[in-house]
Chains A and B, each alone.
Chain A
Amino acid sequence: MEHRHDAHETTHGTDHYMTNAGTRGGGHAGHAGMGHGAMNMAPAGIPLAIGGEDRDGLELDALHVRLGPVLAHWPAGLVLRCTLQGDVILDADASLIDADQPVAEDDGRGSTRPLFAARRCDNAAGLLELAGFNDIASHARRLRDALLNGDAHTGPQLDRLARMARRSWLLRWSLRRLGPVTDQDVARWHLPDTLRGDTRDRLLAMLDRAAQALAGRNGHLVAEQPRVPIDAVAELVRGWDLAAARLIVASLDLDMWTADRAVSRV
């Protein structure tokens, strides 16, 4: 469990009253009763949080919260160490668990077309669940199960899912303008082209890729899949609130099974 009064790792360890009192020097006798100095600064053994600069200029306490490696609807193995103020992610630092372990070179799990499509459906279901669209999410999950079971006639179902996602104006309202990735971002962080646009665009693209894989239209699948540098994930969530960040990460369609050092595939 993470605590909201985690230790602050930066160097300005004094609290701001002390700093203020110091700069003002004398004329300060009235504060004798305050007795800050005598206090134990770590209630229940947890040092107090310390404020820092933030985007709203409120200097709220900075909390250190780790997201992952295991979290519902979260790419397993991804760890984001976030510095939160309120629920805004001030700073984040991404890493992968077991990144230095040798990964079995493609073990066959990601190679077949239905499995590739199933993985896209799973990621889409996670994103939809996070956005609170329970019905479409259950649809995506059932489709994933059908794909994994090798059921026939999944193509029309996938089309239906994509149509539901494309037509829902509520989905559009809820996911548009979240975590936009521009052409410059793509170039700067070496992101795959498929991530361009906002969260809704990426959701639709995800479902498109699944449909293409099932129809056998894209030849490359895993071997030539573009990769998402892990640091870009941290870059993308910076400045968003916790929930928006969860949506953005889910929309990246990360696939950690084939993760290698500091790189993931889309």
Chain B
Amino acid sequence: MILQTVLLVAAALFSVGLYGALSQQVVVMVMMGLELMLNGLILAAAGFWWFLSPDPSGQVLLLVIIAAMTVEMAMGFAVATALHRVRRADMTDMAADLSR
């Protein structure tokens, strides 16, 4: 467990999430992809903190990432519900079409 291996794992998680976020059509699945990317970020940030500068302020960044995730999810769910109610759309490109 050295910084490089932690970052490798984080990069793998981030890339898998990126693939999901780019390729999935369903809004909720895109959100899962984003979550996975943030998951990688958490791991990378934790690794940086521990191996580079284990002073207290670094951890705050992690908490901010986690908070960002929850906000993203909550708003994502709300938007998905609203979209579903209005147009029965749950696919990203349907949502894009609706804006025209």
Contact = CB atoms under 8 A, between A and B. Distances in A.
A167 interface: no
Contacts of A72: none
A16 B25 contact: no
A20 B93 CA distance: 12
Per DSSP, chain B at the interface is helix
Interface in A40-79: 51, 57-59
A250 B93 CA distance: 49
A108 interface: no
12 contacts: A16-B88, A17-B91, A20-B94, A27-B97, A30-B93, A31-B93, A51-B88, A57-B85, A58-B81, A58-B84, A59-B84, A59-B88
B88 A20 contact: yes
Contacts of A17: 91
B89 A20 contact: yes
A35 to B, nearest CB: 12
Interface of B: 25, 81, 84-85, 88-89, 91, 93-94, 97
A34 B25 CA distance: 9
Contacts of A217: none
A215 to B, nearest CB: 56
Given A58-B85, A59-B88, A24 B25 contact: no
A256 to B, nearest CB: 41
Contacts of B85: 57-58
Contacts of B91: 17
Contacts of A30: 93
Contacts of A59: 84, 88
A203 to B, nearest CB: 37
Contacts of B84: 58-59
Nearest to B85: A57
Interface in A3-46: 16-17, 20, 24, 27, 30-31, 34
A30 B94 CA distance: 11
Nearest to B94: A20
Nearest to A24: B97
Contacts of B93: 30-31
